[in-house]
Amino acid sequence: MIELPEAITLGRQINETLAGLTITGVFNATSLNKFAFFNGDPTAYKALLTGRKLVSAKGMGIFVDIHLDEEVLLSVCDGVKLYYGDRSATVPAKYQLLLTFSDDSFLAFSIAMYGGIYACKGEFTNSYHAKSFGRVSPLSPEFDESYFKACITGEKKDLTLKAFLATEQRFPGIGNGVLQDILFQASLHPKRKLSSLSETDKEHLFQSVRQTLTDMTDRKGRDTETDLFGNKGGYATLLSKNTVTQPCPNCKGSIRKENYMGGAIYYCPSCQPI
């Protein structure tokens, strides 16, 4: 899933690799995933995108925006996997959208579970997109300790940390993936309620949000995800599907995995007591 470190990394990689290229071909899904979301009829994308030049790209929150000339936007989010190949690379057998470029390279968009691939001319109206680009990013200067504490004060006291941090895009780009290491580094259980946090807990949590997301972004995303070129991210996740059978990196105890609020949570019961 695209979360903040992956959004920023993909945006940068597209910008560095594809800016200046012109789209020469647009191909619709090999077999349509019913959880692939488009802006209107995806067969209309061919007329909209063919001949457009890629100007720039930027990732924020859970979205990656690809800006084309003539005010055309191509925006992807959630579970869209992007793969860029040069003329010697093999196009994946399955995709939800494929673009070819003037130098015979291609960009394939695939989706394992669900995701959005939106193309439009002019203004893009989507509430999740507006949150990703409009709300204070956890990596921006405005996201400081007083802002974070004010967010806690404004919420219901019985909200749990997972609900607070990873739902409703209060903090754009924090999802159920990056959440696990953020809470582990702050020694806080995902089911802890906001009302149970001491001032020190809040400070640790703020520091962990900033530091964990910075580390993940500096290392070009998490090792559970792939980048534009199909390489795993360089950030080795501490708690994830990759490490669940390994001992806790801190106390060497067992890591627990549970389903909670529509996704798996991972935690160490000793280091993150409820």
Candidate list 91, 244, 251, 261; residue touching Zn ion; CB under 5 A? 251
Residues 6+ apart with CB under 8 A from 41: none
CA–CA gap between residue 261 and residue 98 (Å, rounded):
34
Q: Decide if residue 254 touches Zn ion (CB under 5 A).
A: no
Given a contact cutoff of 8 angstroms between Cβ atoms, the answer to whether 132 and 124 are in contact is no
Q: Decide if residue 66 touches Zn ion (CB under 5 A).
A: no
Range in contact with Zn ion (rule: CB under 5 A) among 104-112, 114-122, 151-159, 241-249: 241-249
Q: Decide if residue 250 touches Zn ion (CB under 5 A).
A: yes
Q: Decide if residue 270 touches Zn ion (CB under 5 A).
A: yes
Q: Decide if residue 239 touches Zn ion (CB under 5 A).
A: no
CA–CA gap between residue 114 and residue 204 (Å, rounded):
33
The smaller minimum CB distance to Zn ion, of residues 195 and 270, is found at 270
Q: Decide if residue 244 touches Zn ion (CB under 5 A).
A: no
Q: Which residues from 181-210 bind Zn ion, rule CB under 5 A?
A: none
Range in contact with Zn ion (rule: CB under 5 A) among 27-35, 40-48, 86-94, 250-258: 250-258
Residues 6+ apart with CB under 8 A from 234: 219, 220, 221, 223
Shortest distance, position 247 Cβ to Zn ion, whole Å: 8
Given a contact cutoff of 8 angstroms between Cβ atoms, the answer to whether 6 and 232 are in contact is no
* C-alpha distance across the termini of the chain, in Å: 27
- Is the C-alpha dihedral spanning 89, 112, 74, 64 positive or negative? negative
The smaller minimum CB distance to Zn ion, of residues 81 and 192, is found at 192
Interacting residues with Zn ion (CB under 5 A): 248, 250-251, 253, 268, 270-271
